[in-house]
Amino acid sequence: MSFKKYLLTGLLVWLPLTITVWLLTWLVGSLDAMLGSLLGGLSKMSSPAGQSSEFMFELSKIHGLGVISLVLTLLVTGAFASNVFGKWWLNQWGKLFARIPIFKTIYVSVKRVSDTLFSTNGNAFRQTLLVQYPRPGVWTLAFQTGEPSGEIETKLGQGFVSVYVPTTPNPTSGFFLLMARSEVIELDIGVDEALTYIISMGAVAPEVEALSNSDLSVKG
């Protein structure tokens, strides 16, 4: 019995570390491979007879250079996009892409979603909710992604919120709902803790005080 207990305890200690290291190693390797392919292509274009430059080849072998290059690229792009000229240039860039058939549908949709999710002024995925889904009396965690606007707000009226209900153990898929604000309960649980709770299928509970039964009553 002790052997099995110690074995499982050791597994619980090493498994998270192993998976984390594996994921980071895979990410670094993927970025290095992408950078190596880019450098190889650039060296062939700039070298005579399409031969790769020795400097470019040695540069592409540096482990971790892909991550460093990505971080530097993001920093430089962010600094450029933060000034007046950069904003104007990006605006022209967006207008150009918005005129290309098929491409514009993907680009505009992804840009709207990314602007909403990563904007410092946005409210998407900054509030954890407790909602009744898929039927009254059954509760699950969800995230507020915004509030209805335009024609949807006109039809529904005010007092509604946009809600994303993730699935478990894969929270990248889920259901989008429009719910009355009076039918959701706002929680003090952080998004990270809520995602951990969802991914673990309830095995890893958030470190907050347990909700009382009165807290589960629908507001209003």
Residue range 96-151, pLDDT digits in tens: 877 888 777 777 777 766 666 565 555 567 789 999 999 999 999 999 988 888 89
pTM of the model: 0.55
Per-residue model confidence as pLDDT tens digits over 42-72: 666 666 554 455 656 666 667 677 778 878 8
Give the residue extent of every domain in the chain. Answer: 2-65, 127-216
Q: Which fold has domain 127-216?
A: SH3 type barrels. (2.30.30)
Contact assessment for residue 53 and residue 43, using Cβ atoms and an 8 Å cutoff: yes
Confidence band, pLDDT 50/70/90 cuts, at residue 180: very high
Which of 169, 177, 191 minimizes the C-alpha distance to 131? 177
Residue at token pair 């007046």: 84
Contact assessment for residue 161 and residue 144, using Cβ atoms and an 8 Å cutoff: yes
What is the rounded distance in angstroms from the CA atom of residue 149 to the CA atom of residue 116?
Answer: 14
